[in-house]
A and B are shown apart, each in its own frame.
Chain A
Amino acid sequence: MPVEIPKEKWPGSVLTVTLGALPSEGGTRKRVVTVGGETTLPFLHFEGEIPNPPVVAIEIKDRKPDDWSPLLLEAWKDVIDDPAQWAAAAEAAGADLIVLALSLTNRNGEPTTPEEAVANVKAVLGATGLPLIVLGPGQAEVDNTLLVAVSEATKGERLALGICEDKNYRTIVATAMANGHLVIARTPMDVNLAKQLNILISDMGLPLNCILMDPTTGALGYGIEYGYSVMERLRLAALQGDKMTQLPMIVTPGFEAWKAKESKVGEGVPKAWGDWLSRAINWETLTALTLIEAGADIVVLRHPESVKRVKAAIEELMAAKTLVS
């Protein structure tokens, strides 16, 4: 009995964005990473192209973090005091990309200076051949000062700089444009806000293929369903041809999941929560896998075991390609 499978004819597609630049392109990376380019919904190989698999980034800090779960400190204990070693360990753990999140203060509790930020970024670039994303500490003025210094000192590397938000994007976009970098645009779980910020940024003259969008997510149990649906809606809009939603999506399940009590706390919790370490890793893995089903192009993770599992799943999702051609 022949069955005709309904297929959608999508007029639009996701843009491709490349992170990192090889020496021949003016950078120093040994490998670049290209994301995006989908012409259908996640992994529906029977209907369109998924030219680039989603990738996994590992988040590292410029110094030992103050507020991370003890389980994460344990997982990275040998390298946690040195961003360069940490980056190399992250690469060895299977990362496709490194995210370096700068801290507000340095080891001694003093405000991080632009010189320190630059030195740490350079050390990381020296320790790994992977493309790099650099995030400011999350306070507008500090972000601008640190990121401008980093951007200028790494001209041509095609880093991705973040976070651009509606209240603070001009300085970051301007320095990215001047120095050949990309930016990350984050909006709080809303299709129209995402479009608006993308318009504002591209109006400044930064080409759309230099922007990644972060639609914001929540952890499993803490609002993931809102982020999940906004991502599905953004991807549908992109495929329907809405230009300002056609950017690849980056999300931070690692940050969100490791903020949850389920990952942070090992004692005094219900017995039904099970073993702490397994539960915490499952929390991060499940959050990330769910977002990949919703269309994430880059997931930023924290624990090496989650990285392994998520990468294995992506491989299996992509392997199905050969079954339809």
Chain B
Amino acid sequence: MALTGIQIYKLLPQTNCKECGFPTCLAFAMKLAAKQVELSACPYVSEEAKAQLEESAAPPIRLITLKSNGYEVKAGNEVVMFRHEKTFYNKPGLFVKLQSSALEEEVKSLAKRIHDYCVNYVGIELQVDGFAVEDDTHQPDKLKATLAAIRSVSNKPVMIFSDYPENLGPALEQLDNEVPLIGCATSDNWEKFADLAKRFKAALAVKADQIETLAELTEKIKGKGVEDLVLVPMGKNLGHELMLQTQLRRLALKANYRPVGYPTLAFCSSQAQMVQAIAKYAGFLVLDAFAEDLLYPLLVLRQNIYTDPQKPIQVQPGLYEINNPQPTDPVLVTTNFSITYFSVANEVESSGYPAHLLVTDAEGMSVLTAWAAGKFDAERIAKAVRAANLEEKITRKRLVLPGAVAVLSGEVEAELPGWEVRVGPREAVDIPKFYKQVLQVN
């Protein structure tokens, strides 16, 4: 927890020698508390004071970064229990489990599919973060071969899990300059895992079904010089997992309890576990299986929960030309909320019909929200039409409003003399049908 100016002052030499550039140690302490100066400006702080100050400045949940050639996945550094209090920062990494018992060819083809998986959500490309290899055969050479098979098709970060730390060596030796996650260290084998983590510069997952045990383990492992740790609280069921995750987060944030100040990992087999892990505090998820129809909603959920609640995702207002529109093609009006824009733009684009898509500045709100808030009205629409120079650009002046704001059509007509104002369908999905049945007919 951050120290106050007075608390910092007590740790300084209190000689007021002014070498730091401030008249007194207290003045310097105040600036330090406000994070406006660096501690190194004072040449006289004791080593002990330095250690204390650094410790207090460390984030309550340590930032852990898994790395591989070209990729990074971060977890930790979170500062709140609820997203509305500020925001959640580091989206939990999604890793898909692969077992060492699988045939090499299967591993390759599955890893390739996982690597290539990419889905577009409101203009953002969402992907899987990496692979979690499980040593289910307990054979070091199998583990090594599985990892090699993955690396032959993907460079994304890996996690390697085994009950036997000694099995990991050959697999880890293949990794070049990476930071994988290894584990899981338990009360029985933590020393060997700590040695391994140190030797290979890996992050280490620590597993227990009780918070006390986790705390003991992290302290012991830290004593061995390994600090990049990830907690794996093993709940007995879904509700128990929620309680453990909540307790760990509270201990870290509210009690500043360092022994559990690390991100967590959740092994998930059910959809409920996955949802809960994303909403309630996991830093990494290991998914039991790979299926497009589940990954897509999960990736979207992660994106939604980790959106900054203070600013909706928006697109730039202005004119977007889709499918090479001519001056005789219709103008479609919408707002600059990303979800709104992409629902409409994707629909028009895939239909093949040409449109001038006019995106008004509605402060990032959806059609009805903006309308209810007075940010999407006839006046604003008319202004946007003029700003985009459409009066000149368009020869056949047809303007299509979203069906949800049909009530605006009279006012828009009044604001834009010479324009034919059409009310489009309520849902973007119906736009192609609207082109076919209405716009193309007259």
Task: List residues of chain A with CB under 8 Å of any chain B CB.
Answer: 1-6, 41-46, 188, 220-226, 228-229, 232-233, 236, 259, 261-262, 264-265, 268, 270-276, 278-279, 282-283, 285-286, 289-290, 293-294, 309, 312-313, 316-321, 323-324
For the A-B complex with A4-B255, A313-B272 known, give 16 more contacts whose Cβ atoms are closer than 8 Å.
A2-B212, A44-B242, A221-B300, A226-B309, A259-B427, A261-B429, A265-B429, A273-B119, A273-B292, A273-B293, A293-B242, A313-B238, A316-B237, A318-B239, A320-B239, A320-B243
Is A320 within 8 A of B272, CB to CB? no
Contact partners of B350 in chain A: CB under 8 A: 268
Stretch at the interface among B12-20, B30-38, B51-59, B274-282: B274-282
Set B215, B243, B298, B366: member contacting A1, Cβ < 8 A: B215
Inter-subunit contact B84/A313 (CB<8 Å):
no
* Residues from chain A with Cβ under 8 Å of B276 in the complex: 289, 293
Residues of chain B contacted by A290 (CB below 8 angstroms): 275, 279, 301, 305
- Pairs across A and B, CB under 8 Å, 19 listed: A1-B219, A1-B259, A3-B215, A3-B257, A5-B250, A44-B246, A221-B300, A228-B304, A229-B84, A272-B296, A274-B292, A279-B293, A285-B271, A286-B275, A290-B305, A317-B239, A320-B238, A321-B239, A323-B236
- Most B CB contacts (10 A, CB to CB) among A5, A41, A324 go to A5
Is there an interface contact between A225 and B119, defined as CB atoms closer than 8 Å?
no
Residue of A nearest to B240 (CB): A320
Q: Is B120 an interface residue (CB 8 A)?
A: yes
Q: Which residues of A contact B301 (CB under 8 A)?
A: 220, 224, 286, 290
Verify A293–B279 contact, CB threshold 8 A.
yes
In the bound complex, residues from chain B placing their C-beta under 8 Å from that of A321 are: 239
Which residues of B285-309 are within 8 A (CB) of A?
A: 291-298, 300-301, 304-305, 307, 309
- Contact (Cβ within 8 A) A293 B275: yes
- Given A229-B83, A273-B293, A323-B240; A221-B304 close (CB under 8 Å): yes
Q: Separation in Å of the B319 CB from the closest CB of chain A? A: 24
Q: Does residue B419 face the partner (Cβ distance < 8 Å to A)?
A: no
Query: Among the listed A223, A286, A319, which residue makes an inter-chain contact with B297, where contact means beta carbons less than 8 Å apart?
Result: A286
Q: Which of A5, A225, A236, A289 contacts B271 (CB 8 A)?
A: A289
**Within the complex, what minimum Cβ distance (angstroms) separates B90 from chain A?**
16
Chain A: minimal CB distance from B399 (Å): 24
The listed residue with most A CB atoms (<10 A of its CB), out of B219, B366, B372, is B366
Q: Tell me if B44 counts as interface (CB < 8 A to partner A).
A: no
**What residues on B are CB-neighbors of A41 within 8 Å?**
246
Residue interface mask B223-250, A partner, CB < 8 A = 1: 0000000000001111110110011001
- B420: CB under 8 A from chain A? no
Give the contacts of B93-133 with A (CB-CB under 8 A): 117-121
A1/B297 in contact, CB under 8 A: no
Measured between alpha carbons, how far is A323 from B243 in the docked complex, in Å?
Answer: 10
Q: Is the CB of A309 within 8 A of B272?
A: yes
- Cα separation A213 to B65 with both chains bound (whole Å): 42
Q: Interface on B for A, CB 8 Å cutoff?
A: 82-84, 117-121, 211-212, 215-216, 219, 235-240, 242-243, 246-247, 250-251, 254-255, 257, 259-260, 270-272, 275-276, 279-280, 291-298, 300-301, 304-305, 307, 309, 339, 343, 350, 366, 372, 427-429
Contacts of B235 in A (CB 8 A): 320
**What residue in chain A is nearest B239 (Cβ atoms)?**
A320
A233 touches B293 (CB 8 A): no
Assembly CA distance A151 to B305 (angstroms): 40
| Cα distance A223–B247 in the bound complex, in angstroms | 28
Name B260's closest neighbour in chain A (CB-CB).
A3
In the docked arrangement, what's the CA distance between A261 and B430, Å?
10
Closest to B428 in A: A261
What chain A residues lie within 8 Å of B247 (beta carbons)?
5-6, 46
Given known pairs A5-B247, A225-B304, A316-B272, the reply for A43 and B293 (CB within 8 Å) is: no
B236: nearest chain-A partner, CB-CB: A323
* A324 to B237 Cα, complex, angstroms: 13
Instruction: Report how far A223 CA is from B364 CA in the complex, Å.
Output: 12
Q: Which of B121, B280, B295, B304 contacts A224 (CB 8 A)?
A: B304
Partner of A286, one of B238, B243, B259, B271: B271
Given contacts A279-B293, A286-B297, contact A225 B305 (CB under 8 A): yes
Assess the B239–A43 pair: CB atoms within 8 A. yes
For B257, B259, B301, which residue has the most chain A Cβ atoms within 10 angstroms?
A: B301
Option from A6, A188, A223, A316 in Cβ contact (under 8 Å) with B372: A188
- For A283, give the chain B residue with the smallest CB separation: B297
Look across to chain B and name the residue whose beta carbon is closest to the beta carbon of A42: B242
Nearest chain B residue, comparing its CB with the CB of A323: B240
With a cutoff of 8 Å between Cβ atoms, the chain A residues found around residue B251 in the complex are 3, 5-6
B119 in complex: contacting residue of A5, A236, A272, A285, CB < 8 Å: A272
Chain B residues in 8 Å Cβ range of A293? 242, 275-276, 279-280
Task: Knowing A44-B246, A289-B272 are in contact, say whether A221-B121 is a contact too (CB < 8 A).
Answer: yes
Taking CB atoms, residues of chain A closer than 8 Å to B246 are 41, 44
Task: Quote the shortest CB–CB distance from B369 to chain A (angstroms).
Answer: 8
A44 touches B271 (CB 8 A): no
Chain A: CB-nearest residue to B309: A229
Which 6 A-B residue pairs are closest in the complex by CB-CB distance? A320-B239, A274-B293, A274-B292, A313-B272, A316-B238, A279-B293
Beyond A286-B275, A286-B297, whether A45 also contacts B243 by CB under 8 A is yes
Query: Please, which residues of chain B bring their CB within 8 A of the CB of A45?
Result: 239, 243
Q: Which of A5, A229, A264, A278 contacts B293 (CB 8 A)?
A: A278
Shortest distance in angstroms between A258's beta carbon and chain B's nearest beta carbon? 12
Residue of B nearest to A320 (CB): B239
